[in-house]
Structure 1
Amino acid sequence: MEFKNNKLILKNKKLAFSVTSDITLTFLLDRDICPTSAKCVLKNDNTELLTIIANDCYLDKEFICYDVSLQELSIGLYFFEFYVYTEVKTFQCNELILIYNNLNIVKAINNGIVYHIFIDRFSRGGCISKRTDAVYFDDWYNTEPEFGEYPGDYIPNNSFFGGTIYGIIEKLDYIKSLGTSCIYLSPVFESYSNHKYDTGDYMKVDEGFGGDKALKKLIDKAKEKDISIILDCAFNHTGDDSVYFNKYGKYSSLGAYQSQESPYYSWYNFREYPDVYDCWWGVKILPKTVRTETFKNFICNNVLPKYFDMGITGIRLDVTDELEDELLGEINSTVKKYNGVIIGEVWEDASNKIAYGNRKKYFLGNELDGVTNYPLREGIINFILTKNNTQLIDTINTLELHYPDHCLYNSLNFLGSHDTNRIITILSGISGEGIKGSELTNLKLTLNERSQAKNLLKFAFLLLLTMKGTPCIYYGDEIGMEGYRDPFNRRPYPWGKEDNDILEWTKTLCKLRNTEKISGAISFIETRLECIAYQINKNFICVVNLSENDEIINLDGYYSDLITEKIYKDNYVIIKSNSCILIERIIKNE
C-alpha cells in the first residue's frame, strides 16, 4: 500500500498482529533516491514511545529496502512514522499498528451467508394474540408502514403487519436456499414498538412475535438445517415503557420514573426528576442506561445467559460506540463462556475509532469479534454510482491492513439494512432526500429505472459475495425490494411477487460462495478507473466493468466461467461494457 509519496512504500499488507507475533515492517524506496538516513518513530495516542534509527538497508531489483523490527509490544493501538532523509527532501510514511490478544478468537459465522430479518415485516405465522394498544394492518401487500413527513418526526411505531418468529420457521427452507448459515434477527425482547429497540423486558421474547416458546423452536428448527441465530441487543437504552423505567405504569414493577426508591433508579441519569433525563439522541421514549454494577450484572448474569442457554450463537450490539469498554469487556467474558460471537454496530473503520472523545478498543481481543462493515458498503456503492474504483480499492486495502483476520472474517458485509435506503433504490441514483413521507410512499422506480438499477444490483452482489468477510443479506434485497428511508425500507416481504431474475442471480452467487470459496486474499489487476478487477486466492478472477468500453484482462491459463460455464482458452478475456465476469482457473500455463 502506498502512502503520501509513491517513492516510499510500505510493503506490509497487514498491520494487525497478535501479541505473540514477531513484527517486522518493510519499507521500499525507489532506487533513484539517494538517502542519507532513516528512522522510525513509534507512538501511542499520548506519548512518543521510541525512535529506531534505520540506516541499514539493502537492495532488491527495484527498491532500496528498510526492515524495522518491533519487539515485545503489549496489547494496544500504536502509530508509527517512518522517515527517509535525503540532501534535499524528506519522504514519510505514517500508519497504525494494532496488537491484539489472540486467546478468545472465534469464527462462529465464518461459513455461509447471514440473513437479516426485520421480524414484523418478514412473514406471518402461528396464532398470536393482538394487543389492545396497537394497530394491526390486515393487508400485507398494499398497506404502507406508519411514517412521518420528515426524518425525526414523531410517530408511535405501534402499528404491526403481524410478522412473527413462527412465520420465520415456516420460511426456513427459503432462507436455507440462499445458502444461509446464520439468521440475524432484529430485536426480539418485549417492547411497545414494532422495531423493538425500546426494550420493555429483556427477560421475555415479545408475545407478539410468539414469545420464548417461538424463539426456542426457531433455534431448534434452524439448527436442523445448520443455521444458527444471532440476536440484536440494545443495551445503551431501554424503552420508557419498560419494567425498568415504567413511565406509564403498565408494569407491576416500581420503575425509575415512578420513584427514586426504585431498584432501577440508578440505571438512569435524571437531570430534573422525573421528566428530564438523558435519552438516546434526544428521543424521549429511549432513556439511556447508566452502566452501574447492578445493570452490568443483570445483562451479563441474567439476560445473556438466558438466550445463550436457549441456543443462540451470538449477538449484535446496537450503537456500540456508546457502550463503554468496561461493559463491552464484561459482555465479552460472558459470551465467550458459550464460544459465542459479538458483532458491533460500527459505521467507520473500527480498528482506530474515536467515539465521544475516547479511542475504542474493539479489536484488541476482549470486546468485539467483528463489526457491521459500512466502509465496504460505501465503497461498493461509490464505485457503482461514480464509476470510479479508487474509494473501493482503498477501502478494501485499508480493511485488510487494519483488521485482524478473524475480525475481518466475522464482520458483516452488506448492501442494505433497516437503517439505510434499499440498495436497489440507492443504485437508481434517486436518494429521496428532502422529499416528504407522503410523497415517498407513492414514489416507485419506473420500469426503465428499475431495469438499470437491477443490473447494477447484480454487480453489487457479485462484489459483495467475493469479498473477505461474512456476507449479510437484508431481507428482500435478494429480490430487489425498493424503499427510501425508514420506514419505507421496512416494507413487508412480498411473498409470491418476487423478482425471480435477481433472486436467481443472488442464489447462484451464494451457492458459489459456499461451494467454490470465491472469497479470500485479493490481488488487484490494473484497469481503467471505471472497472475493477481482482484475483482471489490466485485461482479466481472477478471483474466488473462499468466503462463504455470493453476491458481486456490477461490470463495465465485456461479459465471457466462460474456462471455461464464458458471455457476461455486464450491468453486473455474480454469483458464487455457494463458487464461482469467471475472465472476460475482450471489449467495453468507452464
Structure 2
Amino acid sequence: MLTEQVDTPTEEIGGDRADRSYQTPEWAKHVIWYQIFPERFRNGDPSNDPVADRVSGPPGWEIRPWISDWYDRTDWEKSLGDRFQDGVYHRRYGGDLQGIIDKLGYLQELGVGAIYLNPVFDAVSLHKYDTSCYHHVDRFFGPDPEGDVRIMEEEDPLDPETWQWTSADRLFLKLIKKVHGRGMKIIIDGVFNHTGTDFWAFRDLAENQENSPFSDWYAVKSFKSTDGNDAEFDYAGWWGHKELPEWKEVENTLIQPVRQHIFDITRRWMDPDSDGDPSDGVDGWRLDVPEEVGKEFWREWNALVRDINPQAYTVGEIWSDKSKEWVSGDLFNAAMNYPFAKAVQKYMIDRALSPSEFLTLLKKGRRSFPGEASFVMQNLMDSHDTPRLASMIVNPGREYNEDGRPEMGFDVRKPDPGERRIQKLIALFQYTYVGAPMIYYGTEAGMWGAGDPDDRKPMVWPEFNYEPEKKHPMNKERPADDNNFDPNLFKWYQKLGEIRNEHLSLQTGTFQPLNIDDDKNTFAFARILNQQKFAIIALNRSDQSQNMRIPLGDVEIPEKKHLENLLTDTRVEIEREHVEINLPPVSGVVLSPEQDR
C-alpha cells in the first residue's frame, strides 16, 4: 500500500465508548513520567543499608558495590549455587529514599513531571511486592532501621489510632514535600492482591491456623491437622508463589476487615495529617495486578481515593487489551499502556508491521477509551517487569516480554550505535504520540538488560566510574562493554522532554495522520491543539534516506511561511500547503510554528 497524502480528518481523542462519568485530573495530561525502582536507584545514606538477617544472607553476605560488574559473582553468591540466579535475588545495593531526594534535580533537568515509585512499604524482598506492613515505609529506606522496628512493635497494626510515624515514614513525607515543591507529582504502588509471608496477619495465621483472628483473611485451602491426619497448611499464592499469599475474595471483593485495613492505609498516605487537605500526601496510585482482584473492591476503593483527593490519579497494571474494561468513571483513570509498547515493538524493532498497519493498531487503542483517557495513559516501553528497551532492540523478533532471559538465548550485550539510533527514534515517537510518556529509570542514561533480574541493575550515574560488564551469566565469552552513563543519549531524552513540555499540542492535541508511505516505511502525523498551535511529526524507519512531501492538514499556515524543526533549531519552508523534507535513515523531525508554546 502506498499513500502519498492522507486526507483524514482530525481524530477526536476518545472513542466509541460513552462514559460521561469519566474524568481525569488535568495535571496528568501534561506530565512526563519516570519510574523508579527504589532499591536500585541511588544509595543516598549508606548508614541504613540492609543487613544479612533481614535478607537471609549466607555467611560472608555484604552489600553489593554499586559500580561492580553485574554478572560478576562474589564468594557468598557462589556458595548459594552454581547459577547466576541462585544468588542475585539475595543482593542488596542500598538504594533508599534519601537517594531519590538527592536526585530530584536530575529528574527535573530531564523534564520529568511525575514519579511512579515501585513499592516502598516495609517488605523482605528487594522488589517489595511481598508486603510486611502497608502502614510503614520500608525500614531500610529511612535513616533509622532499628528504631523503626521498635516503633512497629509498639503498635496494634489493626488499630490506626496506635500507628506512629517511623523515621522512614517521615523521610517519605519529606520526599513528597520536596517533589511538590518542584511542581512535580508522585504516585506509589498499591499491592492489594497479596502480601508477603512476613505480613503481620499472615504470620499470626501461620502460627495459630484456624484459631487465628485472621483465619478468613487469606485464601486458605487447608489448615494444618491437629487430629493426626496428614493435612498441611496450604493457601493460594500469587501465580503459585507461596511467598506471596493471596487475600480471600467473596462476591467480587475482598472481605470487609481487609478492605477496611486497605482503606485505612489509603487515607494515611493520601492525607497524612488527616486534616482534609491532601496536599501533603501522594498524588495517586499505580495498582498491581488489579485484574486479579474483583471490580467491586476497586469501585469502592476508587470512590474513596476520589473522595480524599478529587485530583488523584489511579493507573492499573493491565497487560492485555482488556485495559478498556478498567478505565472508566468508577474504576481507574488510566492503565500502563502495554498495548502501545507491543505495537511499537512490532513496528520499530521487529519490523513486522507496515506504517499503515501500525497506525491502525494504535487507532484501535485510542478508540477503546472514554473521554480524554488517551491523554493520560502511561505510554511506556519498558519497566521492572520487562527487558529494557535497549535490549529489546538487540533481541528483535520476540513476543513482548517473552523469554527475556539469557538462558533462553537472550543476548546480554550493549547496543551498538545503530541500535541506539532505533532507541532514539522510538523515544521521539513516545514523546510525541497521544498519551503521557513514561521512562523506566536509566533508560535515558544508556542502561540495558534482559528480563528480571537484569532489568533491575543499579542506576548508572555520570559521577561514577563503573566496572566494564564483561562477565556472562552463562559463563560464555563476551567482549567487555563500557557501562558508564551515556551523556549523548541523556541529552536526546532531555531535548525531547523540553519539546513536549513547551508545546501544549503534544500534550493535549488531537491526532491527524498526514502522510503514510508503506513502500518507503515513513509516516507523518499532526498533533493539533487548534489551527495555530500544532506540531507535525515525521518518521523514517527505513535504512535509506527518504524524501517526504507532507500536507499541513487542518492547520493554519503561519504568516512567516515556515516551521521550526524543534530537534535541530532550523527552519523548514512551507510551499503552498505542504512542506518537503529529507529524512536520514532511522530518524525523525518535529515541526511547529514559533507561537506553539
**Could you say whether these structures have the same fold, taking a TM-score greater than 0.5 normalized by the shorter chain as the test?**
yes
1:318 positional shift: 0.3
1:333 positional shift: 1.2
User: Which residue among 298, 301, 308 is the counterpart of 2:270?
Assistant: 308
Q: Match of 1:365?
A: 329
Cα deviation 1:497-522 (Å, max 9, x = unaligned): 31011100000000111112334211
| Aligned mates of 2:98, 2:595 — CA distance in 1 | 49
What aligned pairs does 1:235-246 form with structure 2 within 5 A after superposition?
A: 235-246=192-203
Whether the 8 Å CA contact 2:18–2:371 is kept in 1: the answer is no
Whether the 8 Å CA contact 1:562–1:584 is kept in 2: the answer is yes
Q: Answer with 186-195 or 515-524: which moved more.
A: 515-524
TM-score (structure 1 length as normaliser):
0.76
| Aligned mates of 2:446, 2:22 — CA distance in 1 | 41
Q: Match of 2:585?
A: 577
Query: 1:435–1:405: structure 2 CA closer, same or farther, 3 Å change rule?
Result: closer
1:151 positional shift: 13
Q: Match of 2:66?
A: 140
1:347 is aligned to 2:273 = no
1:103 positional shift: 6.5
1:272 positional shift: 2.0
1:259 positional shift: 2.4
1:546 is aligned to 2:515 = no
Query: 1:328–1:486: structure 2 CA closer, same or farther, 3 Å change rule?
Result: same
Q: Match of 2:418?
A: 452
Whether the 8 Å CA contact 1:14–1:402 is kept in 2: the answer is no
Whether the 8 Å CA contact 2:511–2:525 is kept in 1: the answer is yes
Q: Match of 2:527?
A: 536
1:11 positional shift: 9.1
| Aligned mates of 2:10, 2:208 — CA distance in 1 | 58
Q: Match of 1:485?
A: 451
Whether the 8 Å CA contact 1:172–1:222 is kept in 2: the answer is yes
1:399 positional shift: 2.3
1:106 is aligned to 2:72 = no
Q: Match of 1:262?
A: 212
SS at match of 1:144: coil
1:149 positional shift: 10
Give the structure with the higher percent helix.
2
Query: 1:351–1:160: structure 2 CA closer, same or farther, 3 Å change rule?
Result: closer
Query: 1:544–1:149: structure 2 CA closer, same or farther, 3 Å change rule?
Result: farther
RMSD of equivalent CA atoms:
3.0
Whether the 8 Å CA contact 1:156–1:193 is kept in 2: the answer is no
Q: Answer with 318-327 or 120-129: which moved more.
A: 120-129
Whether the 8 Å CA contact 2:13–2:371 is kept in 1: the answer is no
Query: 1:555–1:433: structure 2 CA closer, same or farther, 3 Å change rule?
Result: closer
Q: Which has the higher contact order (CA 8 A, sep 6+)?
A: 2
Cα deviation 1:343-372 (Å, max 9, x = unaligned): 0001123454xxxxxxx4x23311100000
Whether the 8 Å CA contact 1:115–1:473 is kept in 2: the answer is yes
| Aligned mates of 2:402, 2:30 — CA distance in 1 | 37
Q: Match of 1:36?
A: none
Query: 1:555–1:149: structure 2 CA closer, same or farther, 3 Å change rule?
Result: farther
Structure 1 unmatched runs, 5+: 1-9, 18-96, 247-253, 353-359
1:317 is aligned to 2:287 = yes
Give the structure with the higher percent strand.
1
Q: Match of 1:90?
A: none
What aligned pairs does 1:417-496 form with structure 2 within 5 A after superposition?
A: 417-429=383-395, 437=406, 443-445=412-414, 449-496=415-462
Whether the 8 Å CA contact 1:150–1:437 is kept in 2: the answer is no
Q: Answer with 101-110 or 163-172: which moved more.
A: 101-110
Letter in 1 for 2:330: N
Whether the 8 Å CA contact 1:113–1:178 is kept in 2: the answer is no
Whether the 8 Å CA contact 1:182–1:228 is kept in 2: the answer is yes
User: Which residue among 115, 119, 123 is the counterpart of 2:38?
Assistant: 119
SS at match of 2:48: coil
Whether the 8 Å CA contact 1:116–1:185 is kept in 2: the answer is yes
Cα deviation 1:363-412 (Å, max 9, x = unaligned): 33111000000111111122112443244312321122121233222211
Q: Match of 1:196?
A: 128
1:15 positional shift: 9.4
1:450 positional shift: 1.9
Whether the 8 Å CA contact 2:355–2:516 is kept in 1: the answer is no
| Aligned mates of 1:464, 1:241 — CA distance in 2 | 40
1:142 positional shift: 1.1
Whether the 8 Å CA contact 2:49–2:63 is kept in 1: the answer is no
Letter in 2 for 1:122: F
User: Which residue among 497, 501, 513 is the counterpart of 1:510?
Assistant: 497
| Aligned mates of 1:579, 1:277 — CA distance in 2 | 53
Letter in 1 for 2:67: Y
1:335 is aligned to 2:305 = yes
Q: Match of 2:516?
A: 527
SS at match of 2:379: strand
1:567 is aligned to 2:517 = no
Cα deviation 1:511-558 (Å, max 9, x = unaligned): 111112334211112332222211111621111102224131235542
Q: Match of 1:164?
A: 96
1:198 positional shift: 0.5
SS at match of 2:321: coil
Structure 2 unmatched runs, 5+: 1-7, 143-167, 225-232, 249-253, 273-280, 463-483, 553-560
SS at match of 2:169: helix
SS at match of 1:512: helix
Letter in 2 for 1:237: H
| Aligned mates of 2:321, 2:408 — CA distance in 1 | 35
Q: Match of 2:48?
A: 128
Percent of pairs with identical residues: 26
Letter in 2 for 1:559: L
1:154 positional shift: 7.6
1:584 positional shift: 1.1
| Aligned mates of 1:110, 1:119 — CA distance in 2 | 25
Whether the 8 Å CA contact 2:337–2:378 is kept in 1: the answer is yes
| Aligned mates of 1:142, 1:416 — CA distance in 2 | 23
Letter in 1 for 2:584: K
User: Which residue among 270, 282, 286 is the counterpart of 2:244?
Assistant: 286
TM-score (structure 2 length as normaliser):
0.75
